[in-house]
Structure 1
Amino acid sequence: MVAGSFSIEVESTVDAKRLWKATLDSHNLLPKQAPGLITGITLLQGDGGVGTIRQVNFTAANKDFSYVKEKVDLIDEANMVYCFSHVEGGALGKKVASVSFKVKFTPKAGGGSISTYSCNYDSLPGVPHDEAKVEEIKANSTGLFKQVEQYLIANPTLYC
């Protein structure tokens, strides 16, 4: 088993509070903003708060898996930190034994924000580290963030 992690940081002109609110509503927002990737997000248990389990269903564009179930582990309103982990589907049981994520939004002086997205994982025994796959995940995550960012820029009163 290999423990691994990666982190990306993205600057935005969008206010951190708006990005935070969009994240909390991502089960409604993402299927609308990324229909080429996500067909829907269903809350299976809970109301979106800590302990909620949701299923993210992907289009055929995601060649690796068709769905993933996520559990909300932490919502820290004061520090705009959102943590979740995969509990079923995705790469679980295929390549990784566990995977968890942390998203943090930090206001920038003078406006805008910095979004930090971190991932920690434990690969299954015998699964080698795949740096190309890590880079692909980072690029896809940044691309999805940029789609949401552009939507918020185009809709300045949304999530205010």
Structure 2
Amino acid sequence: MGVFTFDDEFTSTVAPARFFKAAVLDADNLFPKVAPQAAKSAETVEGNGGPGTVEKITLPDGKYVKQRLDSIDHDNFTYGHSIIEGDVLSADIEKISHVTKFVASPSGGSIIKVTTTFHTVGDAPVDEAKAKEGKEKAEGLFKLVEGYLEANPSAYN
């Protein structure tokens, strides 16, 4: 198995605790509202919401992904999850893992640090264009959440 890791950072005007509550703890409710093009619905297929929980996310085009919650740290605003099944995985990718941490920035907002690890089958390389596309989608989703939080200052306090 090949392992390829990418580190990315995004900035936000929203404080880490508030961003974490919205984008992590209430993602199943918020994402279909702010990004209907990214997620139609989410349902728990295994687990109780803690590490090991598996969710099936249905996309607007009928495709799906299953993701497993690997870790969550409410005190440090960090969580990890892995895409373990679905239409976004190619025959060459076993899973894609993400660890996301929301850190306070000097300006009072957040620095969102994301480590993405592609676990490939055999010696298969990672498609760099697909990795870049994934990063751009994540950044777009973070910006949509940020916009929602800025427009709704009393939400997720």
TM exceeding 0.5: yes
Among 77, 85, 90, the residue aligned to 1:88:
85
Match of 2:106 in 1: 109
- Assess if the C-alpha contact under 8 Å between 1:24 and 1:48 holds in 2: no
Supply the distance in 1 between the matched residues of 2:145 and 2:110 (Cα, whole angstroms).
Answer: 14
- Assess if the C-alpha contact under 8 Å between 1:93 and 1:124 holds in 2: no
Supply the distance in 2 between the matched residues of 1:122 and 1:45 (Cα, whole angstroms).
Answer: 22
Match of 1:41 in 2: 42
Which residue type is aligned with residue 142 of structure 1? E
Supply the distance in 2 between the matched residues of 1:90 and 1:79 (Cα, whole angstroms).
Answer: 32
- Assess if the C-alpha contact under 8 Å between 2:46 and 2:54 holds in 1: yes
Task: State the aligned residue count.
Answer: 156
Per-residue deviation at 1:110?
4.0
Which residue type is aligned with residue 105 of structure 2? K
Supply the distance in 2 between the matched residues of 1:50 and 1:2 (Cα, whole angstroms).
Answer: 24
Provide the secondary structure at the position in 1 that maps to 2:42. Answer: strand
Provide the secondary structure at the position in 2 that maps to 1:38. Answer: coil
Match of 1:158 in 2: 155
Provide the secondary structure at the position in 1 that maps to 2:40. Answer: strand
Supply the distance in 2 between the matched residues of 1:143 and 1:46 (Cα, whole angstroms).
Answer: 29
Provide the secondary structure at the position in 2 that maps to 1:35. Answer: coil
Coordinate RMSD, CA, aligned? 1.7
Match of 2:28 in 1: 27
Match of 2:124 in 1: 127
Matched, 1:11 2:22: no
Q: Which stretches in structure 2 are left out of the alignment for 5+ residues? A: none
TM-score normalised by L of structure 2: 0.90
Supply the distance in 1 between the matched residues of 2:130 and 2:55 (Cα, whole angstroms).
Answer: 24
Runs of 4+ in 1 over 6 A off after TM superposition: none
Distance 1:136 1:10, change over 3 A: same
Among 99, 117, 127, the residue aligned to 2:96:
99
Per-residue deviation at 1:109?
2.8
